[in-house]
Chain A
């Protein structure tokens, strides 16, 4: 669904280099930029994506421990029975701290991390979890598909042994908020890049990447103990790779847009210390056909900023895609959709209008 900017294998957390362990990155957002820079190092022992490798489902829904990082990521744009709009996010990350580890019991060198969030116009809630791999506290099974960490679950609703991600249930929460959503795919799985091999930069870093942007969502969102019935659209991303960002890249802005006509658009803008931002995107027709977009075709500009958590965050964007005649302005549901997790970033539901109308999700990191 979304090409991660540059090597941005993770929107949410920095990846580790051999030197600094995962949590070093996570412990202070000030180190975020440093962490992303740390992603530039090569990771010996881990597998690298190869062009031409076919993705096989449902097997590839599961984890790929020979790769260093991986995630399962779901965002949903919802509207409640009360008419109010909501947003929900569910992310599960896997980091391998060592290649070729036994993957069993406490010796498994995978660490799992998850972020969950729920947003409405007035409030934004988030929560974070960590878990060790190998002992059953967190993990992903490919078929029947089940991804979980503690009591946060993303799993198939089908009983059959080979069930993939066509019909999912996703749930998460903590003391302040919770949600349970049933996702039903109304379109095919979309392979990003070239058959799932998605280039991240000119230097050749890449990842395996596919998305399912065609979910309809139905369920409940509970905020401060009050449950509201909701329904809407959802988008799932799957990506895994071993290589971090380019050395001078410090963060990215990422867009996942549902157009009212049924089409989908994924864009990113990779911000660099030295050079102009690197732009990349994917236009997905309502029947699932994809058209990768080149940087000259895309224009993304921040419009206004507000101050959040000692940073100046852009709040409105102008997005243009020349070849598709797209010229829209985005508006966040809640400008304060700040994820105060380790690391910290902005992620929340947006609406857009202009040449087209629709809704989606924006993520902004590295500010």
Chain B
């Protein structure tokens, strides 16, 4: 099975016999699991369940030929986007991610209908059907994509952070990328500038253990990815990405650091995707048992449900939520199937903004 998602938070401070700047430097406080109200627990649960059911439906529509091309599902990783984005200030913070972007958009409260309609390539889609699964944006929600080139969003996100600092608007950029992207050179070019200029950015590595079919330990000389910022003096945190309260708690500690003007933080979220890299991936590089073991022991939604039951939320509540979410997803699928395709004339629009 995959390495158990770690519960560890920050690296323990060592007392070194010789001066060791790496451990003596100030670092973000040790995070604590978030102390959520029952309402917040329910909100997290709803959002995570919406992502799960939405992605399951997207998988079905793909099977029916209604969604084409590459379609990367977020199933298994729901606690990451929900936990992190719930800590952001939607009015000023910005978010950017790679091609596995449906979950981040849903966690941002973007209408599932326009996301699903983009997946089916319809005019009503959020990119008018011209972007597809990997290229979706919502400037209104300060969600800057949706980028198909692995690692590009890290430099672009650093630019979003540069803009926040330049304007002095108090915003923080959050740039998500995977364990695979963490081996791209531009990630380190960005780390260097971000720390050099103390840019307000949280780099988030969603370590789902596999870069397509290559496991982290087959691709990474330093497989503790939260340490990848050390040579740039960027503090790292390793977080259990299967526990939404751990994620939210860690996000708060990271945000405190970044908002105080102390520069970037690198968060490694240990998580797991249950489906293949994309819909066309048979996932022969790992065993069925491995996947099943994570689902059984570490599933983020089941874990949260247990916490909520312990907190006294009755079982019937979950049935109601499930019904409600299924209805939202069914509606988005109906919409996405019945909405018209783009007008042929749309082929030529939006290439340039201005007329020359």
Decide if A and B are genuine partners.
Answer: no
User: Chain B residues in contact with chain A, CB under 8 A?
Assistant: none
Which A residues fall within an 8 A CB radius of B?
none
